[in-house]
Structure 1
Amino acid sequence: MKVLGHRLQLLTGLLLHDMTMAGLQELRFPEEKPLLRGQDVTELDNPDTLLSVVDTDWKEHDIETPYGLLHVVIRGSPKGNRPAILTYHDVGLNHKLCFNTFFNFEDMQEITKHFVVCHVDAPGQQVGASQFPQGYQFPSMEQLAAMLPSVVQHFGFKYVIGIGVGAGAYVLAKFALIFPDLVEGLVLMNIDPNGKGWIDWAATKLSGLTSTLPDTVLSHLFSQEELVSNTELVQSYRQQISNVVNQANLQLFWNMYNSRRDLDINRPGTVPNAKTLRCPVMLVVGDNAPAEDGVVECNSKLDPTTTTFLKMADSGGLPQVTQPGKLTEAFKYFLQGMGYIAHLKDRRLSGGAVPSASMTRLARSRTASLTSASSVDGSRPQPCTHSESHEGMGQVNHTMEVSC
């Protein structure tokens, strides 16, 4: 298979596997500035401490939306013209269970300290949530997406970079389709763009009759191999899902997710007036994840010139938990591709903020450059993703696919 493009290397510790990135042009930055757009917790040691991190600098909010209250946790305040990082968790989880390990990873904190970070909990899924009253109608997946503009408006965000997992990835994709001007980029993990057919629906109903709700949700989060091996991680999540998330509220969210419709997206040029995500997208899935087929399907429906497909080796259903280092590095490249991060502090050196090794390789490998106009605070940067092509299965697929 022929690959047109350039080779990058991901760093985890000192060095990760070779990784080819699509859609990044050379970025030229003044070396004295650590960021383009102005200046401005404890790492989890084992799965049993998923909820033990003390978030002293996070503030909780309950925001009124057209479809009810939404629990949001935020750190920082809007910084110049930079977007906020907004997350949405998978079904069965909340922002803590889904994202604590990833956002508490040391290298990730080096990135997020330059952005306001906003975690959204789906209705009734946050820690300590009260049970919904009898007869409560849980919002549809489309309504969950329509709740997010209230969050954006409440905090005064101009636009966001979304990070979603599973059901949360579906919600953020729907949000970007309905409100494209509010979304700068998307990192979608374990997304399934397809609704359930009647056979899948029947199988889900049967599973609900023969299994407990936590076990049913675990089969959505983890592969059969992970469940059979019954690792400490799986055991921990079984306990957390059972004890931390309100079971009645979870059942409502689970039912609504399983009744979702197909995402209305098609690759440009394949059908008349095709709809697609207009922002840069990074699709992520573990190589041993139950969502792999769905992510591959989503990749086939997105614009190949703005999409990167990342399959993570040695990773199961929760790559943000099992491989936070690799995902952090990929996210850094994603931000660099949109023109945000030029330099990061290298913790291995004592000289302070320096151009990252990956950024140096990136600069050497590109022939085009951005003008200095995109390096000042005050104008929204244009996504500088560009397509790379490789041949496979007898046809050209411009979408970049990498494994790391």
Structure 2
Amino acid sequence: MERMNLTGPCRAASSRTWAVAAQGLVSRGSLSWTPPGRGAPSGPPSPGIARGGDEKEMPSCWQVGAPAQAPLPPGYPMARRESCPECPVLFPFQEHDIETPYGLLHVVIRGSPKGNRPAILTYHDVGLNHKLCFNTFFNFEDMQEITKHFVVCHVDAPGQQVGASQFPQGYQFPSMEQLAAMLPSVVQHFGFKYVIGIGVGAGAYVLAKFALIFPDLVEGLVLMNIDPNGKGWIDWAATKLSGLTSTLPDTVLTHLFSQEELVSNTELVQSYRQQIGNVVNQANLQLFWNMYNSRRDLDINRPGTVPNAKTLRCPVMLVVGDNAPAEDGVVECNSKLDPTTTTFLKMADSGGLPQVTQPGKLTEAFKYFLQGMGYRPRCCATHHMLPTMTGDSLGHLHLSLPSASMTRLARSRTASLTSASSVDGSRPQACTHSESSEGLGQVNHTMEVSC
């Protein structure tokens, strides 16, 4: 059931049309840039993501949101976009309730499908919803440069969206496997051919299970804070005891944040404690929390380690903050995945929610991840903005990204590079690869990234 349908140019936008008010968002019109061998252009370049020869000129409007401002708290309503006579609304959103075999799913669509490109499908962690989990990340300015080239599909777990009605007494919350089995209905409803999944915690587990059951629907996965293991009896008893001595929001916070963050009781922790208690329906959250803690082991093994090993067939980027509660689980998940298609990103100074505390670094890594799947940055002038890779005597790879907003990541190779030349139909062969300003070369390798 579609709740809202926003179309038309900016100047005729509905009063309920919203655009992203990013953290510290500034107008790109203040940037100066001159392509090599050219005079100064009348405006800044228009970087984006193009697949193969599918290139598209970006609109000339560069004021993509509000002027620079203080960071917004999690879940803060997005600001209205200023009228622009030259381009349509960049980030309209539509809310839908999708029928699935296991009940309704609340879904929010941002943007519109872009040809044959996959949708970016997100799934939040337990205790959160898509706003609390992903707003900071997707409202980050550099991330907007990516998402305006893809349609974004935010999925809320049953009963976790803002304003959700409480489930009736005796309602059986879907199992983690059933939550994964609900997603094909979403993909089919919107006509997506395949998706790139971004999941956090419980959402990462659901997306991994989805990719195992329906591998042809998933082109790539970004899994943050994933724990592939089910709860043992000791863990189960500890969770039960914690539930008796602490409020539900405080219990969930121990899953979301590092012990250091909880002890320091940072403003971020206080904000999430309040939001979890006030925004998410507590009875519904308790059902989701109980189901997540009764999950089974994710049935994956590294190829070659056991007979008929099952693993994720698509490229995967694992992400975790240092000292995060899920750190051990993510490390173990990395040991069970195919090393030729897996990147492990351990982020310093990011705590338990790297997408909230370090959206810039995560966006940078996500851009590189997309490049590995055959997408590449594109500016309106030439290919000179492509990143370059250089090596040193210690065998480390350094990625230089010319964008004014990017820093450098040091990537250490953990496997030898091998060529890859096959392409599977209309979808690019999944691999990670380096790019130079002279062309695109494809190589398969595993990387461990520290930033």
TM-score by length of 1: 0.77
TM-aligned CA distance change 1:156 to 1:398, over 3 Å: closer
TM-aligned CA distance change 1:252 to 1:392, over 3 Å: farther
TM-aligned CA distance change 1:323 to 1:284, over 3 Å: same
Alpha-carbon displacement from aligned partner over 1:108-158 (angstroms, at most 9, x marks no partner): 000110000000000000000000000000000000000000000000000
Contact residue 287 and residue 314 of structure 1 kept, 8 A: yes
C-alpha deviation, 1:392, in angstroms = 33
Contact residue 300 and residue 309 of structure 2 kept, 8 A: yes
TM-aligned CA distance change 1:64 to 1:275, over 3 Å: same
TM-aligned CA distance change 1:359 to 1:290, over 3 Å: closer
The answer to whether 1:234 aligns with 2:269 is yes
Aligned counterparts of 1:381 and 1:362: Cα–Cα separation in 2: 25
TM-aligned CA distance change 1:378 to 1:305, over 3 Å: closer
Aligned counterparts of 2:335 and 2:34: Cα–Cα separation in 1: 19
Q: SS of the counterpart of 1:359?
A: coil
Contact residue 78 and residue 116 of structure 1 kept, 8 A: yes
Aligned counterparts of 2:168 and 2:257: Cα–Cα separation in 1: 31
C-alpha deviation, 1:35, in angstroms = 4.0
Contact residue 419 and residue 442 of structure 2 kept, 8 A: no
TM-aligned CA distance change 1:118 to 1:142, over 3 Å: same
Aligned counterparts of 2:173 and 2:232: Cα–Cα separation in 1: 21
TM-aligned CA distance change 1:396 to 1:115, over 3 Å: closer
TM-aligned CA distance change 1:159 to 1:39, over 3 Å: same
C-alpha deviation, 1:194, in angstroms = 0.1
Q: SS of the counterpart of 2:435?
A: coil
Contact residue 128 and residue 160 of structure 2 kept, 8 A: yes
Alpha-carbon displacement from aligned partner over 1:338-362 (angstroms, at most 9, x marks no partner): 1119999xxxxxxxx9975899999
Aligned equivalent of 1:117: 152
Contact residue 73 and residue 118 of structure 1 kept, 8 A: yes
Aligned counterparts of 1:122 and 1:205: Cα–Cα separation in 2: 22
The answer to whether 1:102 aligns with 2:105 is no
Q: SS of the counterpart of 1:364?
A: strand
TM-aligned CA distance change 1:395 to 1:295, over 3 Å: farther
C-alpha deviation, 1:378, in angstroms = 9.0
C-alpha deviation, 1:382, in angstroms = 1.5
TM-aligned CA distance change 1:229 to 1:388, over 3 Å: farther
C-alpha deviation, 1:76, in angstroms = 1.8
C-alpha deviation, 1:333, in angstroms = 0.2
Alpha-carbon displacement from aligned partner over 1:263-302 (angstroms, at most 9, x marks no partner): 0000000000000000000000001211000000100000
Q: SS of the counterpart of 1:360?
A: coil
TM-aligned CA distance change 1:252 to 1:263, over 3 Å: same
Contact residue 423 and residue 429 of structure 2 kept, 8 A: no
Aligned counterparts of 1:239 and 1:285: Cα–Cα separation in 2: 24
Contact residue 4 and residue 389 of structure 1 kept, 8 A: no
Aligned counterparts of 1:103 and 1:264: Cα–Cα separation in 2: 31
C-alpha deviation, 1:104, in angstroms = 0.1
Q: SS of the counterpart of 2:97?
A: strand
C-alpha deviation, 1:327, in angstroms = 0.1
TM-score by length of 2: 0.69
C-alpha deviation, 1:37, in angstroms = 2.9
The two structures, once aligned, show a CA RMSD in angstroms of 9.9
Contact residue 22 and residue 386 of structure 1 kept, 8 A: no
Structure 2 unaligned blocks of 5 or more: 9-23, 27-31, 38-43, 63-93, 376-393
TM-aligned CA distance change 1:302 to 1:91, over 3 Å: same
Alpha-carbon displacement from aligned partner over 1:51-100 (angstroms, at most 9, x marks no partner): xxxxxxx9100000000000000012221111000000000000000000
Contact residue 36 and residue 375 of structure 1 kept, 8 A: no
Q: SS of the counterpart of 2:331?
A: helix
Aligned counterparts of 2:311 and 2:34: Cα–Cα separation in 1: 24
Contact residue 343 and residue 446 of structure 2 kept, 8 A: yes
Contact residue 92 and residue 254 of structure 1 kept, 8 A: yes
Q: 2:280 aligns with which of 232, 241, 245?
A: 245
Q: SS of the counterpart of 1:73?
A: strand
Q: SS of the counterpart of 1:152?
A: helix
Q: 1:224 aligns with which of 259, 265, 269?
A: 259
Aligned counterparts of 2:444 and 2:342: Cα–Cα separation in 1: 11
C-alpha deviation, 1:385, in angstroms = 2.5
Aligned equivalent of 2:5: 2
TM-aligned CA distance change 1:107 to 1:168, over 3 Å: same
Contact residue 4 and residue 388 of structure 1 kept, 8 A: no
Q: SS of the counterpart of 2:306?
A: coil
Aligned counterparts of 1:69 and 1:154: Cα–Cα separation in 2: 13
Contact residue 162 and residue 183 of structure 1 kept, 8 A: yes
Contact residue 43 and residue 106 of structure 1 kept, 8 A: no
TM-aligned CA distance change 1:393 to 1:102, over 3 Å: closer
Give the alignment of 1:200-211 within 5 angstroms. 200-211=235-246
Q: SS of the counterpart of 1:276?
A: coil
Q: SS of the counterpart of 1:86?
A: strand
TM-aligned CA distance change 1:122 to 1:263, over 3 Å: same
Aligned counterparts of 1:377 and 1:316: Cα–Cα separation in 2: 38
Contact residue 434 and residue 440 of structure 2 kept, 8 A: no
C-alpha deviation, 1:191, in angstroms = 0.1
Contact residue 180 and residue 207 of structure 2 kept, 8 A: yes
Contact residue 83 and residue 157 of structure 1 kept, 8 A: yes
Aligned counterparts of 1:100 and 1:32: Cα–Cα separation in 2: 23
Aligned counterparts of 1:121 and 1:102: Cα–Cα separation in 2: 16
Aligned counterparts of 1:193 and 1:220: Cα–Cα separation in 2: 15
Q: 1:323 aligns with which of 358, 361, 380?
A: 358
Aligned equivalent of 2:385: none
TM-aligned CA distance change 1:40 to 1:360, over 3 Å: farther
More helix by share: 1
TM-aligned CA distance change 1:398 to 1:112, over 3 Å: closer
Aligned counterparts of 1:85 and 1:192: Cα–Cα separation in 2: 22
C-alpha deviation, 1:226, in angstroms = 0.4
TM-aligned CA distance change 1:378 to 1:205, over 3 Å: same
Contact residue 2 and residue 390 of structure 1 kept, 8 A: no
TM-aligned CA distance change 1:395 to 1:222, over 3 Å: farther
Percent sequence identity is 92
Contact residue 110 and residue 151 of structure 2 kept, 8 A: yes
Select the structure with the greater relative contact order (CA < 8 A; seq sep ≥ 6): 1
Q: SS of the counterpart of 2:208?
A: helix
Aligned equivalent of 2:420: 373
Contact residue 387 and residue 399 of structure 1 kept, 8 A: no
